[in-house]
């Protein structure tokens, strides 16, 4: 049984007990669907990436994980699955604050196929064979080879599934009358030892249009919705090789991929090993790499520069095989950045993962010289014409990337982002608005200020910048004195979400005022004022938290452990 099956069985077990099960693609799914009054289990499959580590996906979760972890209790579970090597990389890079010191250690289960007992292997083979509804002659074959299969060191659940679903009916059955026992044994042994051999033959027999559809699904990543895959296929596949998308997708379904029947129909791989194979085939074809890198999406750049891919997790930059690939990747990255895509986030995320996981890798220098240097230089030039840094985190990534480069690159123009953050801060602090209904944009003011203090202090010395700064400080002072009684809003709204939102916003504002109190540029009087405001808001947070309606903590303890015991393999297959 694989990790996905285990996760779903856990959720189905809870559903049978009256719980609600919710499959999550993004952290907002949990935050949006969380209901304190219900018993819920949230399932996040392939949490750190499907076949390679995805820093962008992890960072998407990381910012909300502290909030999510506080939502979990005896009646609210989070079940996440991951390939073991991706979990190892993630643990070295994940930062979720004090709430996640043990994350994801609680309840952690590692599924290791090599440690399955013969009895467990026999049950897996039996269930696959039983479910496949094999003809009588193939059932007899399974009975004859069961002992050898369960003793094979290359046994994995997915290889057994493919053996039963593909090798037996498609290869062995047509030749069954002429095959000898030792020949069948050899075919089975080869299938278990090299499971991709058959897939490679099948893949290479596909038409060019079919292969480009698979490349488009690889590029789409976790968001492989029909509309995204269609757009990717039509963008990537050369016009001379293109066939109607609907026809190609229907012909290919159930071979390497499955299509989920839902409103936003999406694709999923029959197994992650299929995606591994398709990426491997892309990397081996220079013409495919050239075409892909010349017109891929940001997610295509992410794939090309990814780390931790492949069955064993040792694949880095799978589509950057020669120098021409690196140059094409850099050129495409620059083009996407000029079109407004945050491609630096994806590239820098992969670079940071490689540097942390394999600091002496040759890829570290290749990333710095061939990708980051031209991309950062292009973004710096672009910043003089438009606001390329929509949030402080975008600017922080630019500075981090620039620090990794040996060549000098001039400071970007930060006037646009400064003006934008000043305006959003004014808006967040204005008016007599309940603290729980404020936008939260004022939090970005101090983040930006600290960045500029470190990397561009000359900008902060400008007279216009100082005037903006002083005006923002005055507004923080006025806002802190007019926030009103947060209890009034909670009692008027009378919902669990209003209490939680108010508590979080009080904590946020308390933290802002604490940071303001530490700014040495302010007068001692102003710093004392902000320190007092911080302490007052922290006291209000505690008061709201203590006054909030008690949530039902209930729950029960039950021993789920159950030994399947040893079985006689021959006896198990008698009723197949």
pLDDT band at 2 (very low <50, low <70, confident <90, very high): low
Residues 316-364 pLDDT 10s: 999 999 999 999 999 999 999 999 999 999 999 999 989 988 888 899 9
The closest alpha carbon to 37, from 79, 78, 77, 75, belongs to 75
Residues 535-575 pLDDT 10s: 988 998 888 888 876 642 333 334 333 445 566 777 777 77
Q: Give the pairing of strands 307-309 and 315-316.
A: antiparallel
Residues 429-466 pLDDT 10s: 887 777 667 767 788 999 999 999 999 999 999 999 99
Give the whole-angstrom CA distance, residue 410 versus residue 392.
Answer: 18
Q: For the chain, report the end-to-end CA distance as a whole number of angstroms.
A: 19
Give the whole-angstrom CA distance, residue 421 versus residue 444.
Answer: 7
Position with higher pLDDT, 311 vs 140 = 140
pLDDT band at 501 (very low <50, low <70, confident <90, very high): confident
Quick one: pLDDT at residue 116? 80
Give the whole-angstrom CA distance, residue 27 versus residue 30.
Answer: 5
Position with higher pLDDT, 286 vs 53 = 286
* Average pLDDT of the residues of the chain: 84
Quick one: pLDDT at residue 553? 36
Region of poorest pLDDT, from 99-113, 264-278, 284-298, 471-485: 99-113
Position with higher pLDDT, 3 vs 209 = 209
Quick one: pLDDT at residue 560? 36
Quick one: pLDDT at residue 563? 45
CB 364 within 8 A of CB 402: no
Residues 22-79 pLDDT 10s: 988 778 888 888 888 899 999 988 777 665 566 666 666 766 777 787 788 888 898 8
Angle subtended at Cα 317 by Cα 314 and Cα 320, rounded to the nearest 5 degrees = 135
Q: Which segments of 285-322 does DSSP mark as H helices, in order? A: 286-295, 298-304
Give the whole-angstrom CA distance, residue 542 versus residue 338.
Answer: 47
Q: Give the pairing of strands 40-44 and 20-23.
A: parallel
User: Running DSSP on this structure, what letter comes out for residue 194?
Assistant: -
Residues 475-498 pLDDT 10s: 999 888 777 776 766 666 555 556
Query: Across residues 172-198, what is the average pLDDT?
Result: 84
Give the whole-angstrom CA distance, residue 446 versus residue 435.
Answer: 19
Residues 9-20 pLDDT 10s: 888 999 999 999
Q: At what angle do helices 196-204 and 181-193 cross, to 10 degrees?
A: 80
Radius of gyration of the chain (CA): 28
Give the whole-angstrom CA distance, residue 61 versus residue 5.
Answer: 22
Evaluate if pTM is beyond 0.75: no
Q: Which segments of 132-244 does DSSP mark as H helices, in order? A: 136-151, 157-162, 173-175, 181-193, 196-204, 208-220, 226-236
Domain boundaries of the chain, sorted by first residue: 3-111, 120-201, 208-270, 293-413, 427-438+445-547
Give the whole-angstrom CA distance, residue 315 versus residue 304.
Answer: 11
Position with higher pLDDT, 8 vs 245 = 245
Give the up-direction half-sphere exposure of residue 345: CA atoms within 13 A in the CB hemisphere.
20
């Amino acid at each position: 049984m694989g990790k996905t099956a285990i996760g779903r069985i856990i959720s189905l077990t809870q559903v049978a007990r009256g719980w609600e099960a919710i499959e999550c693609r993004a952290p907002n799914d949990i935050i949006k669907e969380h209901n304190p009054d219900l018993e819920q289990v949230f399932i996040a499959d392939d949490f750190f990436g499907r076949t390679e580590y995805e820093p962008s996906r992890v960072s998407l979760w990381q910012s909300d994980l502290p909030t999510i972890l506080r939502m979990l209790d005896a009646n609210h579970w989070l079940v996440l699955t991951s390939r073991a090597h991706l979990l190892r990389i993630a643990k070295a890079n994940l930062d979720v604050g004090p709430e996640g010191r043990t994350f994801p250690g609680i309840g952690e289960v590692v599924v290791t196929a090599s440690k399955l007992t013969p009895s467990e292997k026999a049950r897996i083979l039996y269930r696959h064979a039983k479910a496949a509804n094999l003809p009588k002659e193939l059932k007899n074959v399974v009975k004859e080879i069961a002992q050898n299969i369960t003793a094979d060191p290359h046994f994995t659940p997915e290889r057994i599934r493919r053996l039963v679903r593909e090798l037996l009916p498609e290869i062995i059955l047509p030749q069954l009358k002429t095959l000898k026992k030792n020949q069948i044994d050899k075919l089975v042994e080869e299938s278990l030892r090299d499971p991709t051999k058959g897939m490679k033959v099948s893949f290479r027999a596909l038409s060019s249009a079919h292969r480009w559809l698979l490349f488009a699904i690889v590029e789409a990543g976790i968001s492989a919705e029909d509309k995204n895959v269609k757009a990717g296929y039509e963008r990537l596949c050369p016009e001379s090789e293109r066939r109607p998308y609907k026809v190609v997708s229907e012909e290919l379904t159930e071979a390497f991929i499955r299509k989920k029947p839902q409103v936003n129909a999406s694709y999923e791989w029959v197994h992650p090993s299929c995606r591994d194979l398709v990426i491997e085939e892309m990397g081996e074809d220079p013409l495919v790499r050239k075409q892909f890198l010349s017109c891929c999406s940001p997610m295509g750049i992410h794939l090309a520069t990814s780390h931790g891919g492949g069955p064993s997790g040792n694949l880095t930059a799978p589509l950057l095989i020669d120098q021409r690939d690196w140059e094409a990747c850099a050129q495409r990255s620059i083009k996407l950045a000029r079109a407004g895509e945050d491609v630096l986030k994806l590239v820098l995320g992969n670079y940071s993962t490689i540097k942390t996981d394999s600091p002496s890798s040759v890829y570290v220098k290749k990333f710095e010289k061939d990708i980051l240097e031209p991309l950062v230089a292009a973004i710096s030039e672009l910043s003089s014409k438009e606001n390329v840094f929509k949030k402080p985190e975008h600017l922080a990534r630019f500075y981090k990337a620039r620090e990794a480069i040996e060549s000098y690159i001039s400071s970007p123009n930060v006037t646009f982002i400064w003006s934008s953050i000043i305006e959003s801060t004014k808006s967040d602090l204005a008016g007599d608005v309940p603290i729980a209904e404020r936008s939260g944009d004022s939090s970005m003011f101090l983040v930006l200020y600290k960045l500029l203090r470190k990397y561009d202090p000359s900008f902060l010395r400008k007279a216009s910048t100082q005037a903006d700064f002083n005006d923002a400080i005055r507004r923080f002072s006025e806002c802190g004195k007019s926030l009103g009684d947060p209890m009034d809003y909670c009692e008027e709204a009378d919902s669990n979400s209003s209490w939680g939102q108010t508590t979080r916003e009080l904590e946020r504002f308390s933290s802002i005022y604490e940071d303001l109190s530490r700014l040495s540029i302010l007068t001692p009087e102003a710093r004392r004022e902000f320190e007092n405001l911080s302490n007052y808001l922290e006291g209000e947070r505690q008061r709201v938290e203590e006054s909030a309606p008690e949530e039902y903590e209930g729950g029960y303890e039950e021993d789920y452990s159950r030994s399947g015991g040893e079985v006689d393999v021959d006896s198990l297959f008698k009723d197949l």
